[in-house]
Amino acid sequence: MTGLLTSPDPAANPIWAKLTAAAAVVPDIRALLDADQDRPVRSTVSAAGITLDFARQRITPESLTALIELADQQGVFIRRAAMFAGEHINITEDRAVLHTALRLPRGSSLVVDGVDVAAEVHQVLDRMGSFAKAVRNGKWRGATGKRITAVVNIGIGGSDLGPAMAYEALRAFSKRGMTFRFVSNVDPTDISEAIGDLDPARTLFVIASKTFSTLETMTNGRAARSWLVDALGEKAVSKHFVAVSSNSELVEAFGIDRDNMFGFWDWVGGRYSMDAAIGLSTMIAVGPKGFASMLAGFHAMDKHFETEPAPRNLPVIMGLLAVWNRDFLNISTNAVLPYSQYLSRFPAYLQQLTMESNGKAVRLDGTPVTYQTGAIVWGEPGTNGQHSFYQLIHQGTSPVACDIIVVAQSDNPLGDQQNMLIANALAQAAVLARGRTLAEVTADGTDLALAPHKVMPGNRPTSVISTARLDPFTLGALIALYEHSVFVQGALWGINSFDQWGVELGKKVALGILAVIEGQAEPSSIDSATVHSIAVIAEQFAP
């Protein structure tokens, strides 16, 4: 299929120049809203239980149409079809990109490289389901015959952020009699605090590492193993550890029965794997039916992205708005602001999804980009952030684009607090978009000397993403929405959103430094600044 190995330079497309000119004269958001009373209705699209209201984005309908045309000419929709078909669009690793296959309905068929990957996915899901049921209903027992009451997921990156985020998001649907903890940091404090108050006889560890050799994960895994063996003996390991991995040899060497290893595939990137076996701890928490509902939400958004025309396609619109803000409005950061405590880990999850995917400066053909790519993503739940960093968003000198996520119904109704939460979310959206002028400030009698300090410039591009309830289906759809938005951005920029060589280099260098610290390599093997830092820290470490 054409357009996979290379992609035309988007900045060389005449539409890019047209958009640049349009951005230079685009009215501010308040003017756009006031000039068109129908703008909110026309700027609202829904799919899979998710509604996107982008009326407060600083863009005209004409510019959005031009962005869609640009995406078409740059081969974005060709690459979309190639991804769903299983083409090797991850060209630097010669792999297909098939996270969408993880949520194909039972009975589906997708043959890639001679293998029906859909059938393989459901074989793993069935094994996961049987195991999750056994842990939840008490049929799976620890070495002493006691029921498992605590599950500790040990991973890092996508093997941690996805399951940890999903557990927090779906806590209302989780098995309340069980404790779930997540360990990722090689800092010994992380594993120590996670297991310090647990009963080894009632604890199950899920070690998530595709290669079963990830430094941080296996360091923590060995620490957990020692903790368990000290309490219950070597023979207990097989009843208290399972693996999410594809390296059966190392899994068995650790002491885990191969029957308790749940595999996944090289066409699943870590940051796209929470709906694969990496989600085993999630499935134990919410049950196989809850997990299946989450997969159905993913799939519903997948089908919408694959088939809906671009002007009404949520991921396409979100992705193109992100490109518009980054390249034409020169906004370098995007704040994700969920007005739901259950989504407290969602911004952190999106940081990896977006910045590891599109933090690239080289195009598919190896040439450097001449334009901006991935934005910096960050955020905290509302209303907490309102008493923290919103000051900078409202009156700072660096413009920030914002996604405000609203869940209409609370799983924990308490007086009028949900109405208060929603009112705060919409108030922030209004002020971020419209601001407050000097005339409006002085009209309420504010002293003229104080008035400038109360002016809010507004004009901060803001999307409001809402849903009726945060349940497993909705969470799946919400994650897929952002996954496909990231795809649209990367495809338009002509970069590979599915490798992460910057991460790989850091791992390699860390191993070299570790060898020097432990006296297994000469200091001459690393740079002088690092040698100096090792010496400084060694002095601080000494008693």
Q: How far is CA 443 from CA 57, 129, 440, in A?
A: 27, 63, 5
Among the residues of 461-527, which ranges form H helices?
472-493, 501-517
Q: Is 148 helix (H, G, I), strand (E, B) or coil?
A: coil
Q: Is the pLDDT of residue 3 over 60?
A: no
| CATH number of the domain that residue 77 is part of | 3.40.50.10490
**Which residue matches tokens 């671009």?**
310
The string of pLDDT tens digits covering residues 401-431 is: 999 999 999 999 999 999 999 999 999 999 9
Is residue 276 domain-shared with residue 316, that is, in the same domain? no
Gap between the Cα atoms of 206 and 240, Å rounded: 9
Is residue 337 domain-shared with residue 462, that is, in the same domain? yes
Is residue 340 domain-shared with residue 361, that is, in the same domain? yes
Domain assignment present for residue 17? The answer is no
Is residue 240 domain-shared with residue 140, that is, in the same domain? yes
Kindly state the percentage of the chain with pLDDT values over 90.
93
Helix (H) or strand (E) holding 322: helix 314-323
The CB density around residue 231, as the number of other CB atoms within 10 Å, is 15
The string of pLDDT tens digits covering residues 466-481 is: 999 999 999 999 999 9
Residues 97-113 have a mean pLDDT of 96
Residues 142-154 have a mean pLDDT of 98
The single-letter DSSP state of residue 520 is S
pLDDT confidence bin for 1, thresholds 50/70/90: very low
Structure tokens at 185: 């940091």
Is residue 155 domain-shared with residue 171, that is, in the same domain? yes
For position 355, what pLDDT does the model report? Answer: 97
Is residue 507 domain-shared with residue 489, that is, in the same domain? no
Domain assignment present for residue 299? The answer is no
Would you say 138 and 253 are in contact if contact means Cβ atoms under 8 Å apart?
no
Q: How far is CA 28 from CA 20, 35, 457, in A?
A: 16, 11, 10
Among 389, 396, 379, residue whose Cα is nearest residue 457: 396
Residues 157-162 have a mean pLDDT of 95
Gap between the Cα atoms of 120 and 114, Å rounded: 12
Q: Is the pLDDT of residue 489 over 70?
A: yes
Domain assignment present for residue 1? The answer is no
Q: Name beta bridge partners: 262.
A: 244
507 is catalytic: yes
Among 27, 35, 75, 109, residue whose Cα is nearest residue 365: 75
Q: Of 387, 453, 518, 539, which one is the catalytic site residue?
A: 387
Gap between the Cα atoms of 111 and 376, Å rounded: 37
Is residue 443 domain-shared with residue 347, that is, in the same domain? yes
The string of pLDDT tens digits covering residues 19-69 is: 999 999 999 999 999 999 999 999 999 999 999 999 999 999 999 999 999
Count the domains in the chain.
Answer: 3
List of long-range contacts for 432-441, beta carbons under 8 Å, 24+ apart: 432/56, 432/393, 432/394, 432/402, 432/458, 432/460, 432/462, 433/29, 433/30, 433/33, 433/56, 433/458, 433/459, 433/460, 433/461, 433/462, 434/29, 434/30, 434/33, 434/458, 435/30, 435/459
356 is catalytic: yes
Would you say 14 and 89 are in contact if contact means Cβ atoms under 8 Å apart?
no
Among 233, 224, 173, residue whose Cα is nearest residue 203: 224
Domain assignment present for residue 152? The answer is yes
Q: Is the pLDDT of residue 2 over 50?
A: no
Among 229, 233, 495, 243, residue whose Cα is nearest residue 369: 495
DSSP characters over 51-101: EEEEEESS--HHHHHHHHHHHHHTTHHHHHHHHHHT---BTTTTB---GGG
| Domain end among 286, 316, 339 | 286
Q: Is the pLDDT of residue 439 over 80?
A: yes
Is residue 236 domain-shared with residue 355, that is, in the same domain? no
The string of pLDDT tens digits covering residues 304-322 is: 999 999 999 999 999 999 9
3-state helix, strand, coil in the chain (%, to 5): 55, 15, 30
Gap between the Cα atoms of 292 and 366, Å rounded: 40
Among 480, 465, 323, residue whose Cα is nearest residue 405: 465
Domain assignment present for residue 239? The answer is yes
Length of the chain: 543
The string of pLDDT tens digits covering residues 253-270 is: 999 999 999 998 989 999
Q: Of 356, 360, 394, 484, which one is the catalytic site residue?
A: 356
Dihedral sign computed on CA atoms, order 201, 207, 212, 215: negative
Domain assignment present for residue 452? The answer is yes
The string of pLDDT tens digits covering residues 163-184 is: 999 999 999 999 999 999 999 9
Is residue 331 domain-shared with residue 428, that is, in the same domain? yes
Is residue 466 domain-shared with residue 356, that is, in the same domain? yes
Does the predicted TM-score (pTM) go above 0.75?
yes
483 is catalytic: no
Is residue 527 domain-shared with residue 466, that is, in the same domain? no
Residue-number span of the structural domain to which 337 is assigned:
28-87+308-493
Domain assignment present for residue 114? The answer is yes
For position 4, what pLDDT does the model report? Answer: 57
Gap between the Cα atoms of 237 and 257, Å rounded: 9
For position 377, what pLDDT does the model report? Answer: 98
Q: Is the pLDDT of residue 5 over 70?
A: no
Q: Of 139, 235, 289, 507, which one is the catalytic site residue?
A: 507
Is residue 334 domain-shared with residue 209, that is, in the same domain? no
Q: Is the pLDDT of residue 360 over 90?
A: yes
Say which residue, 105 or 2, is predicted with more confidence: 105
| Domain end among 286, 319, 337 | 286
- Amino acid letter, 491: A
Domain assignment present for residue 35? The answer is yes
Gap between the Cα atoms of 358 and 483, Å rounded: 11
Q: Is the pLDDT of residue 198 over 60?
A: yes
Would you say 274 and 166 are in contact if contact means Cβ atoms under 8 Å apart?
yes
For position 538, what pLDDT does the model report? Answer: 87
Phi, psi torsion values for 504, nearest 5 degrees: -65, -40
Half-sphere exposure of residue 186: CA atoms within 13 angstroms, side-chain side: 9
Angle at which helix 280-307 crosses helix 76-85, to 10 degrees, equals 130
